[in-house]
């Protein structure tokens, strides 16, 4: 289990991380979101001891991280870095050795991991001969091939197309199934929502959201209604408690409420003549909540 307790980090008068506490259980995935400059990367660097906290502590299984513990950590920084003139195989073996593994342990796994991430090329190919996307896959493999117990991924989905993003999700979920703690940052709320057990949002170094994704969404109330019926848009717009009504591409309506209870009145009106194809009342999406909290000066 990873624990961060009351972390504070300042750079001069600027507070990058302000009294941040959280924990991640074994076999749990935590998403860390926030605008650029919110404190995500600084938090990762504090966990890894690349930066010294001004206050607070980081514990791994109840103790401060030791030099030996770093062998069970997989870290993917936002700034990628591979040796272009080195082969895939030699690159992966080199990074694994830095984490206490031997060539004998890692070499048999290389083909399996290249196949898992669908890397186009041979393991003897030099990094510079690969496409940008395949170079990124090799970087991801170098982070995961030693099957770390703690995985820290800073914007891992950046630059990946949907197919390759799905491969990465599968890799993360596989590590979770083996008991690893995973923490990653992302600006793609869809990825966060699909694979996270737990979510934290930072703004200006402070925590503004903390909890399970579905619980966070539900806490904002079911203010979204997706409706397909014979009810006119103009009729809906007149209801007290309706903030906006938008017509979607499929001609159904997306209705935003100021009060979730208005959904009951809306359902009654829409079903007055019986069957309707669709009535779906949902909390706001994670992306909508992100935009709301990022711009909410009152927290």
| Same-domain status, 262 and 174 | no
| Same-domain status, 210 and 99 | yes
| Same-domain status, 189 and 242 | no
Q: Which residue has the tokens 């930066």?
A: 51
**E strand spans, 126-234:** 150-154, 181-185, 198-203, 206-211, 224-228
Write out the residue range of the structural domain in which residue 273 sits: 221-282
**Dihedral sign of CA atoms 100, 105, 110, 115 in order:** negative
User: Do residues 217 and 286 make contact, with C-beta atoms less than 8 angstroms apart?
Assistant: yes
Q: What span, in angstroms and rounded, lies between the C-alpha atoms of 55 and 53?
A: 5
Q: In CATH, what number is assigned to the domain containing residue 252?
A: 3.30.70
| Same-domain status, 110 and 246 | no
Residue 174, in any domain of the structure: yes
Q: What span, in angstroms and rounded, lies between the C-alpha atoms of 198 and 28?
A: 8
Span 38-94, pLDDT tens digits: 999 999 999 999 999 999 999 999 999 888 888 899 998 877 778 899 999 999 999
Q: What is the pTM of this model?
A: 0.85
| Same-domain status, 105 and 149 | yes
Span 137-195, pLDDT tens digits: 899 899 989 889 999 999 888 878 888 888 888 888 988 999 999 999 988 888 888 89
Regarding beta strands 278-282 and 14-24, do their DSSP bridges make them parallel or antiparallel, or are they unpaired?
Answer: unpaired
User: Do residues 163 and 190 make contact, with C-beta atoms less than 8 angstroms apart?
Assistant: no
Check residue 190 and give its pLDDT: 85
**E strand spans, the chain:** 2-11, 14-24, 29-33, 55-60, 63-64, 73-76, 150-154, 181-185, 198-203, 206-211, 224-228, 242-247, 253-257, 278-282
What's the domain count of the chain?
Answer: 2
């Amino acid at each position: 289990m990873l624990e961060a307790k009351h972390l504070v980090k300042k750079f001069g008068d600027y507070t990058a991380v302000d009294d941040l506490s959280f924990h991640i259980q074994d076999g749990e995935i935590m998403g860390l979101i926030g605008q650029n400059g919110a404190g995500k990367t600084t938090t990762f660097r504090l966990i890894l001891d690349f930066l010294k906290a001004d206050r607070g502590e980081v514990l791994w299984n109840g103790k401060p991280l030791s030099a030996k513990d770093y062998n069970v950590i997989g870290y993917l920084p936002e700034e990628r870095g591979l040796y272009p003139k080195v082969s895939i195989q030699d690159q992966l073996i080199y990074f694994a050795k830095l984490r206490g593994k031997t060539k004998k342990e890692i070499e048999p796994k290389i083909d399996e991991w290249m196949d898992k991430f669908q890397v186009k090329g041979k393991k003897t190919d030099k990094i510079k001969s690969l496409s940008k996307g395949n170079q990124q896959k090799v970087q991801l493999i170098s982070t995961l091939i030693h099957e770390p117990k703690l995985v820290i991924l800073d914007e891992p989905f950046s630059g990946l197309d949907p197919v390759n993003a799905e491969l990465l999700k599968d890799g993360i979920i596989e590590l979770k199934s083996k008991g690893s703690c995973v923490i990653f940052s992302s600006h793609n709320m869809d990825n966060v929502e699909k694979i996270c057990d737990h979510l934290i949002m930072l703004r200006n170094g402070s925590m503004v959201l903390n909890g399970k994704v579905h619980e966070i969404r539900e806490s904002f109330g079911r203010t979204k209604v997706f409706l397909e019926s014979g009810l006119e848009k103009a009729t809906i717009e007149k209801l007290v408690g309706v903030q906006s009504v938008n017509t979607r591409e499929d001609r159904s309506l997306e209705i935003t409420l100021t009060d979730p209870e208005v959904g009951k009145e809306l359902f009654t009106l829409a079903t007055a003549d019986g069957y309707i194809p669709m009535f779906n009342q949902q909390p706001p999406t994670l992306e909508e909540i992100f935009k709301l909290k990022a711009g909410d000066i009152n927290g």
